[in-house]
Structure 1
Amino acid sequence: MPRSEPTLNQIETSVKELLRAEEIAALGVHDRHGRPSVSTMHIAADGLRVYVHTFARFRKRTELVRDPRVAYAVNHLPPGGYDGRFETRSLQVKGEASLVTDPDEIALAARLSLEQFPWAAGAGLFNHAKAPDEGQQAFFRIDPLEAVWADSRVSLMYRTVLSFAEGGARLAGQRPYGAGE
């Protein structure tokens, strides 16, 4: 039986929870020819914005600097396969990536990354995060512009299109999901 339609605040809370619970997303960028290029990336959430980490000599950094238009998808698929179908959630985001250069924001991205995936502490991956022109690492912040939220806890085929306030810090609205989205 379908549950009641969630409010925008309830959806925002659910999206934030998903972004903090899941650490892997498929990130789509444009390659030098304008073709889609997708990579599996770790994400660290700061509310509705996420940070991704890459290295100076990786193509992902070059592609993100050249064309900041991105999309990513993250989902929760519970154990149990088909039996867990009423707990699945997913978020498909269209956004804009910005190379993080401010030392305070780099420290924030590193801290959020360590909080979200504690295994990284043992690897020392974020112990000495520096500005992108000073080190081998780079963080990008992805500010969401529009998203599709799917939540099977509401109903099996529940989808809604989300819009974000300036900078992606909060949800600004939603509209029904339809053909052509």
Structure 2
Amino acid sequence: MEAMMPSLEPSVAEIQEAIVELLRAEEIGTLATIDSEGRPSASYMHFASDGLVVYTHTFSYTRKHLQMQQNPNVSYTIGYLPPEGYSGRRETRYLQIQGRATLVTDPAEIQRVVEVSLEQFPWAADTSMYDNIKVPDQGQQVFYRIEPVEGLWSDNRIRLLWRVLLEFGDGGKAIANVEDYNVVVGRRARR
């Protein structure tokens, strides 16, 4: 059996590229909103990405829409779990984000989100899912833009349980800082 050599730490640019790749490849994640009592509320959602910024679609009559209107602080997680299960664990990677949700009201941005969504989800072209999206006060379907603020990136392709904490800048469009998760939580010193 070959000894595994420790992988080199990826650069910030490589981490960002891997995250963008995951966000474009995986379409379903879990969105957590906060209710009026301060309790989290989770929902499975489709996420369409434009770089590190993601968009999600919902309806104006849902609890998550009301909750994001009352409190724009949200969290989401999305990941790749290999079909081989445990034996494929060295391919597992996931992203946990704390961010701010903003209702998309600009018609040009709404059109851009529809284009990004149809590009990312080719199956949606055969549906009427995005046919009637208008500005929020003219219809029941709405988009939210989620700009990441902080997060955690885990990538077992680097090594098992390799994780970093992320801070985002430029309106969530770039990673501004990366810290070793284990060092921050005091689990062990950086190797």
Q: Per the shorter chain, which TM-score range?
A: over 0.9
Residue 92 of structure 2 aligns with which residue?
Answer: 88
Residue 70 of structure 2 aligns with which residue?
Answer: 66
Quick one: percent identity of the two aligned structures? 49
Aligned partners of 1:53 and 1:163: how far apart in 2? 25
Deviations 1:11-60 (A, max 9, x none): 00000000000001100010121100000000000000000000011111
- Which stretches in structure 2 are left out of the alignment for 5+ residues? 187-191
Residue 39 of structure 2 aligns with which residue?
Answer: 35
Q: In structure 1, give the amino acid aligned to 2:105.
A: T
Question: Do structure 1's residue 126 and structure 2's residue 130 form an aligned pair?
Answer: yes
Q: In structure 1, give the amino acid aligned to 2:54.
A: V
Deviations 1:47-87 (A, max 9, x none): 00000000011111111111000000000011111111000
Q: In structure 2, give the amino acid aligned to 1:67.
A: N
2:152–2:166: 8 Å Cα contact kept in structure 1?
A: yes
Q: Which has the higher contact order (CA 8 A, sep 6+)?
A: 1
Residue 55 of structure 2 aligns with which residue?
Answer: 51
Question: Normalising by structure 2, what TM-score?
Answer: 0.91
SS at match of 1:133: helix
The structural deviation recorded for 1:110 is: 1.1
Residue 21 of structure 1 aligns with which residue?
Answer: 25
2:132–2:141: 8 Å Cα contact kept in structure 1?
A: no
Alignment of 1:3-22 (within 5 A): 3-22=7-26
Alignment of 1:91-102 (within 5 A): 91-102=95-106
Aligned partners of 1:59 and 1:111: how far apart in 2? 26
Aligned partners of 1:43 and 1:172: how far apart in 2? 22
Deviations 1:130-166 (A, max 9, x none): 1011011000000000110000000001000111113
Question: Normalising by structure 1, what TM-score?
Answer: 0.96
- Which stretches in structure 1 are left out of the alignment for 5+ residues? none
Q: Which runs of 4+ in 1 moved over 6 A?
A: none
The structural deviation recorded for 1:3 is: 1.0
